Structure 1
Amino acid sequence: MSPTLMLAWKSANNRRLTAILTILTVAISVILLLGVERIRTQAKSSFANTISGTDLIVGGRSGQVNLLLYSVFRIGNATNNIDWKSYQEFSQHRSVNWTIPLSLGDSHKGFRVLGTNQSYFEHYRYGRKQNLALEQGRPFNGLFETVIGADVAKKLGYTIGSEIIIAHGINDAGFSRHDKLPFKVVGIFSPTGTPVDKTVHVSLEAIEAIHVGWESGANLGNTPSADQLLQRDFEPQQITAMLVGLKSKIQTFALQRQINTYPKEPLSAILPGVALHELWGMMSVAEQALMAVSIFVVAAGLLGMLSSLLTSLQERRREMAILRAMGARPRHVFSLLILEASALTTVGIVVGTAGLYGLLAVIGPIIAQNYGIQLPLIGLSQYELLLLGAVQLSGTVIGIIPAIRAYKQSLSDGMTIRV
């Protein structure tokens, strides 16, 4: 260890409490800075990973963000539905490989109910084209069977064999529930970190069956029993949206144009990636505001360190003068102060980074469970390293101010006792 570094260590150790407080100030700033950046990038990644491998999303004529929100994120409602005949026509299109019909509108204790068919289990992808997997049970194949998401099962305490009552519409009030038609849980999806976890899945035929007698939007008192409905065959009349996978990516724009100009009813076909980009662009203001706040916190931390160094410098004037008297040159005093500021910043960055990973280990699973944002314990990205480099450089530059003051102090001024 060099003499200057040894001297800086002994000086900081002599002012242990002040140094610790300075390090904690920098550490807290670093935790906030990296935490905001980590949440921002992982939230963006979670949004992008919600749906994968789908070439087009088709719904009633609407804006692409609105269509994306209600079909993928289960947020909001559709402006119009798609006629079942239109769905069949496009599902049999020569360029289409597979389709997944989606029927929304009902709920269960705050969770959305999704009507679909077996294509959902076979072709729906999320993340890096990951398949949906069942943690327990099997896919539904009966009229009043349901497969629920991991969050639904965990929050409501459902297991295989539990019975649930679906409510008509978003409001799960007593008068809107299909009380006579309970569904049996036959499967529970493995956690995905996507809206699938917060969804109750039933068949399209079940959606039609439970709304017999609700054609006016309310129960008219003539709802058939479950046994009566099981004797009937149901075919969907309308669906909310559909996901489309194509045989070739080259055909994407041609089919999109054909759907958007479909003469039989007004439809919209959107590219999920483009819609996700637009959605994230709408959220960029909040993203930038969070980053600005974290930068101000870092600036406040560094200014706190500057204040601490300047305050301690007044107490160290005799120390500086003794060093000068013992042969230390002005540049030695100058480098000593800069080295101290740089070392405090470095230790603060290390403590802050370690603190961030500790927090991620504790709150990461909680955030993933409640908000679907995965915060894995991965290494620092190149951008995060650049942020830390900027903090280190700023801390070193901050040390120049007290170093200049110490440099200018005269020997006689330092040795003079002031009353």
Structure 2
Amino acid sequence: MHLLRIALASLANRRFTALLTVFAIALSVCLLLAVERVRHEARASFASTISGTDLIVGARAGSLNLLLYSVFRIGNATNNIRWTSYEQLAAHRQVKWAIPISLGDSHRGYRVLGTSQGYFEHYRYARSQPLRLREGRPFAADPFEVVLGAEVAEALHYRLGDDLVLAHGVASISLLKHDDKPFRVVGVLARTGTPVDRTLHISLAGMQALHVDWQGGMPARGAARVSAEQARAMDLQPEQITAVLLGLHSKIATFSLQREINEYRGEPLLAILPGVALQELWSLMGTAEQALFVVSLFVVLTGLIGMLTAILTSLNERRREMAILRSVGARPWHIAGLLVLEALALALAGALLGLALLYLGIAAAQGPVQAHYGLYLALTVPTLYEWTLLGAILAAALLMGGVPAWRAYRQSLADGLSIRL
């Protein structure tokens, strides 16, 4: 206890250097814990990009490819699904709801998704949160209505009632546009932090209306062109779609229905479990995740080395102090213990300040981070893993404190009471 009081008094005497050291350790601890929080939440958010969907069905190809184009709007399907196959899936006794999706067009670099009203009712993300409209309404009977994701509306400055023209294909700059069939913005979704924000949603009838007069990927010419008014009067039921999202009555039936779909004889289909496919995709990005963690560890190590440097630098200046302590009866291990306690006190103060900075940062950034990136950073007590990290930091500080302690232990009273210049 006496050594602790002496250690704290010594640090108070060198308060400016001590505070700088504590602050450097605090910043490194805050960064490490913040990275861990973000890594954990990013993984959870990534896994819940789509939630509540039991199966995703598409043309037979790779499971990751199916996941990428159906959920993340990346890439294209190798083939489509016949509408009759979708109807059989939707009518299956185990299927509670089915959401058809159709991809293929874009608008200024953002993907267009053709779907049904069930998309707004059943699609879930991030721990089963439903889609919400920030303003407006879902598309209705008119095929030329569009509901924008939050990022599309903000980036392109669209408002309710604005007209826009979709382009054929997914290139950011397209020479083939559906100029004769403009869509009107009727709704804007609230931000989700998922690919939904970067998507324009239209009805399947609208997707079909865009291409009723297209053949071989090119628009018809002259009298063969179909106007928007003529398209409204036509039967716009699609013949093909890109994929289907399925929700089942019972989770127990998931694997049996998946096997049944994969063995479907009408056409080659593939059914995947989105959670399994998401974990497989995340594992491919594990190298970057671990690299971020390693960088954070090196930042913490840098802070601790700064602490070691500060203590070692002060040793020569404190030889008179050490000699006085020895002259009044302090043993060499007292001197060594004093320096170890100083190192521990600096690391502990830095860890506590780092925790405080972490929670202040989470409280300040919680709303914006969730709104823009879909990451919910909860103000919870540190997890067991985080306590383990903090314990490892304190243990490392003790080890580093042993270096100046060993040097002080080796110094003898022969250093004298005089100040060395």
1:165-217 per-residue CA deviation (whole Å, 9 max, x = no partner) reads 21111114352221221111111222222221221110001001112233222
Relative to structure 1, the CA distance from residue 181 to residue 313 in structure 2 (aligned partners, 3 Å threshold; closer, same or farther) is same
2:240 is aligned to 238
- Cα distance in 2 for partners of 1:91, 1:23 equals 62
Structure 1 residue 320: Cα displacement: 0.6
Structure 1 residue 40: Cα displacement: 0.9
Structure 1 residue 348: Cα displacement: 1.4
1:228 is aligned to 230
Secondary structure of the structure 1 residue equivalent to 2:214: coil
- Cα distance in 1 for partners of 2:416, 2:147 equals 79
- Cα distance in 1 for partners of 2:156, 2:359 equals 31
| In the alignment, structure 1 residue 201 sits paired with structure 2 residue 198 | no
Relative to structure 1, the CA distance from residue 360 to residue 75 in structure 2 (aligned partners, 3 Å threshold; closer, same or farther) is farther
Secondary structure of the structure 2 residue equivalent to 1:415: coil
1:200-255 per-residue CA deviation (whole Å, 9 max, x = no partner) reads 11000100111223322233445422112112120111111101111222221121
2:347 maps to which of 318, 331, 345: 345
Relative to structure 1, the CA distance from residue 348 to residue 414 in structure 2 (aligned partners, 3 Å threshold; closer, same or farther) is farther
> 4+ residue stretches of structure 1 with deviation over 6 A?
none
Please identify, of 51-60 and 359-368, the stretch whose mean Cα deviation from structure 2 is larger: 359-368
Structure 2 alignment gaps of length 5 or more: none
2:105 is aligned to 106
Structure 1 residue 54: Cα displacement: 1.1
- Cα distance in 2 for partners of 1:25, 1:184 equals 54
1:282-309 per-residue CA deviation (whole Å, 9 max, x = no partner) reads 1111111211222122222212221221
2:39 is aligned to 40
- Cα distance in 1 for partners of 2:242, 2:250 equals 25
1:355 is aligned to 357
Relative to structure 1, the CA distance from residue 194 to residue 64 in structure 2 (aligned partners, 3 Å threshold; closer, same or farther) is same
Question: Does the 8 Å contact 2:56/2:274 carry over to 1?
Answer: yes
Structure 1 residue 361: Cα displacement: 4.8
2:167 is aligned to 167
1:14-53 per-residue CA deviation (whole Å, 9 max, x = no partner) reads 2233223322321232122112211211110111121111
- Cα distance in 2 for partners of 1:164, 1:358 equals 43
Question: Does the 8 Å contact 2:168/2:174 carry over to 1?
Answer: no
Structure 1 residue 61: Cα displacement: 1.1
Structure 1 residue 377: Cα displacement: 4.1
Structure 1 residue 7: Cα displacement: 2.2
Question: Does the 8 Å contact 1:57/1:271 carry over to 2?
Answer: yes
- Cα distance in 2 for partners of 1:418, 1:245 equals 80
Question: Does the 8 Å contact 1:193/1:374 carry over to 2?
Answer: no
- Cα distance in 2 for partners of 1:262, 1:226 equals 37
- Cα distance in 1 for partners of 2:111, 2:91 equals 29
Relative to structure 1, the CA distance from residue 109 to residue 365 in structure 2 (aligned partners, 3 Å threshold; closer, same or farther) is farther
Question: Does the 8 Å contact 1:151/1:369 carry over to 2?
Answer: no
What is the RMSD computed on CA atoms of the aligned residues? 2.0
| In the alignment, structure 1 residue 314 sits paired with structure 2 residue 316 | yes
Relative to structure 1, the CA distance from residue 361 to residue 219 in structure 2 (aligned partners, 3 Å threshold; closer, same or farther) is farther
Secondary structure of the structure 1 residue equivalent to 2:175: helix
TM-score (norm 1): 0.93
2:305 is aligned to 303
Structure 1 alignment gaps of length 5 or more: none
1:404 is aligned to 406
Structure 1 residue 116: Cα displacement: 0.3
Letter in 2 for 1:152: V
Question: Does the 8 Å contact 1:137/1:188 carry over to 2?
Answer: yes
Q: How many residues align?
A: 418
- Cα distance in 1 for partners of 2:182, 2:130 equals 28
1:8 is aligned to 7
Secondary structure of the structure 1 residue equivalent to 2:166: coil
Identity across matched positions, percent:
56
